[in-house]
Structure 1
Amino acid sequence: MKKIIKLCAVAALVAAPLVSSVSAAADYPNRPVKFVVPWPPGDLEDILTRMIAEDMANETGKPASVVNKPGGGGIIGAADVSRARADGLTIGSFVADILTTHLLAGNAPYEKDTFEPVGIFLDYPFVLAAKADAPYNNVKELAEYSQNNKVSLGHFGYQALPTAITFKAAAQENINFSSDAAFDANDCSTLANGDADVINTTTQLILACINSGEVKLLASLTRDRLSIAPDVATLNEQTGISQTTWNGLFVKKGTSQEIKDRISEIAQKALATDRAKEIGATTGAGIFWVSGPAAEKVVADDYDAAKGLLAFMKE
């Protein structure tokens, strides 16, 4: 009889965490949810994450907000999420660099397995852009001009994946950047103020001056040509360099699958709305949803690919 009582007690102890986990998932979210965007407001990941947060609040009745924590090329915001509990109440909206180049460069205060993907949802419309009156219209012409003239580059930091891709293209195509500098936001003013002659940025940040004709695109760092600039060849078409970058939602490792599924369900609905589709149409962004093992594979594959880019940057 005593053995039976002991066995029952042990079974209850083992089952308790499972019951607690299921209960927590069923009640999710039982407190306000915070989405951390490690960049200033206004870019695509920020706008789309705000849509997801708004829909979460409407659907669950619990507050859901976006907190922008820029700095360190995304590291400050990512570190904030790394210190959170694995309860789905703090969600990171992370660009690929946070899970790849920053880790490989050794400047991240978290480990490779600190986060788990809920889903990847954005193919960034990164571009190389210049003022409309710049005497070059594509990568080849930029390379030729840079041999005898000073050309400065604005980017998002040396560990940013698009920056590494840009420098790889520069080395391959013999583009001589006389200087370069990192900015938290590469927008119309970066070019207008003369802070840089060419910038590596997203279409969202320069959409107003693209539409006004003040800025032109030299190349897109995307899988396909941008819907808003079909005549601009991709970097892959111009140089053969095919790597692109993405953004996704991540939570602390150990977050229950039920909670991740709930976040995924809400995010997918938000990204399928007409307002999200309109953003894709006006900016050229690729908006989709990849979760589970497929998302894990995207992260793993890009982590391996980033090793080659970082090795190149150190040469």
Structure 2
Amino acid sequence: MKKQFKTLLVAAAVAAAPLLTATTASAADYPSRPVKFVVPWPPGDLEDILTRIIAEEMTNETGKPATVVNKAGGGGLIGAADVANTPPNGLTIGSFVADILTTHVLAGNAPYEKDTFEPVGIFLDYPFVIATKADSPYNNLKELAEYSQTHDVSLGHFGYQALPTAITFKAAVKEGIKFASDAPFDTNDCSTLATGDADVINTTTQQILACLKSGEAKVIASITNERISIAPDVPTLAEQTGISQTTWNGLFVKKGTSEEIKNRIAEIAQKALKDQRVSDLVANTGAGIYWVGGADAEKRVANDFEASKELLKFMK
């Protein structure tokens, strides 16, 4: 079934891809044509909002139209395959979550190779959290582990192939948390907790902002590099368990794109991330916004690729 799915992805991507006539481009005339940013998810989430701000800045800086295309499907693989089948000229840029470069490749789901893409820069640390109702009798993972020994606790997540789900399962094993049941949901929001569909959820802060602000829900761990701004007293997963892997998003281009072009894209993206709208987004959601480019970005991808090998056993 997995091979059939991969074959369909390849066929769809090839059918939609433009003819690969130009394989290189120089920075002197970049961009010579309109630029397309591919977000392999539906509109509205953090990576989509931020990529649109970057595309807007590119339009303003270069005078050439830069647009965002949402190409959802296959857990992000449809959009990634679209970028994989374009020339290395910087005119098609992928806005990719970590899974695209790590777990999907390792699991054999991806219709592209490990080295198909090169990072321009990583810029978003998703504010993934482990949350529960405010009146739950545990405030951290250690207390949750103790409670779960004598009480049934259910977990809600975004699916068994999602990186944050695997990280949560790994943390549960490490800390001795016993989930009596777990289930994937399209959304893990305030209603998931309020209706009792799950006692604990793995989700993003923007999905539970309403009940965090109302005091009906609380965060017991953040799967982030640093503590999130909207819950500064809550330790990160790394602080509580030693598991440091997070879910990030970055800009990627086809391998072979010139350094000059990648540097130009990076320059524009870093300027865009100083926009007041980005600061507001950080304040409202706790998202981590930063810039890791060049060799440091390549090292981070490589490290997470190796770390994800061990995570595969936690992905059902």
Moved more, 85-94 or 25-34: 25-34
Structure 1 residue identity aligned to 2:226: D
Is it true that 1:263 corresponds to 2:265 in the alignment?
yes
- Counterpart in 2 of 1:70? 72
- Counterpart in 2 of 1:170? 172
- Counterpart in 1 of 2:99? 97
Q: Max radius of gyration: which structure? A: 1
Moved more, 129-138 or 94-103: 129-138
Mapping 1:137-216, distance limit 5 Å: 137-216=139-218
1:71 and 1:184 in contact (8 A); partners too: no
Mapping 1:1-315, distance limit 5 Å: 21-22=25-26, 25-311=27-313, 313=315
1:73 and 1:157 in contact (8 A); partners too: no
> Residues of 2 paired with 1:255 and 1:285: CA distance?
29
CA shift at 1:68, angstroms? 2.3
> Residues of 2 paired with 1:207 and 1:130: CA distance?
13
CA shift at 1:113, angstroms? 0.8
Distance 1:76 1:149, change over 3 A: farther
CA shift at 1:184, angstroms? 4.5
CA shift at 1:54, angstroms? 1.4
> Residues of 2 paired with 1:232 and 1:148: CA distance?
24
> Residues of 1 paired with 2:145 and 2:200: CA distance?
12
Q: For structure 1, which runs of at least 5 residues remain unmatched after alignment?
A: 1-16
TM-score (norm 2): 0.85
Moved more, 185-194 or 162-171: 185-194
SS at match of 2:25: helix
CA deviations on 1:106-132 (whole Å, 9 max, x unpaired) are 111110011110111112221101233
Structure 2 residue identity aligned to 1:196: A
CA shift at 1:273, angstroms? 2.3
User: How many residues are aligned here?
Assistant: 295
Moved more, 119-128 or 71-80: 71-80
CA shift at 1:193, angstroms? 4.6
CA deviations on 1:219-272 (whole Å, 9 max, x unpaired) are 111222222112212222222222222110001112222221221111010012
1:42 and 1:205 in contact (8 A); partners too: no
SS at match of 2:265: helix
TM-score (norm 1): 0.85
Provide the alpha-carbon RMSD of the alignment.
2.3
CA shift at 1:152, angstroms? 2.6
CA shift at 1:163, angstroms? 1.4
Structure 1 residue identity aligned to 2:25: S
CA shift at 1:87, angstroms? 2.2
Structure 2 residue identity aligned to 1:240: G
SS at match of 2:119: strand
2:38 and 2:95 in contact (8 A); partners too: yes
Moved more, 281-290 or 150-159: 150-159
Moved more, 273-282 or 163-172: 273-282
Distance 1:179 1:32, change over 3 A: farther
Distance 1:263 1:180, change over 3 A: same
CA shift at 1:214, angstroms? 2.6
- Counterpart in 1 of 2:17? none
Structure 2 residue identity aligned to 1:101: T
1:43 and 1:205 in contact (8 A); partners too: no
Distance 1:179 1:70, change over 3 A: farther
SS at match of 2:170: helix
Moved more, 87-96 or 147-156: 147-156
Distance 1:100 1:171, change over 3 A: same
> Residues of 1 paired with 2:188 and 2:124: CA distance?
19
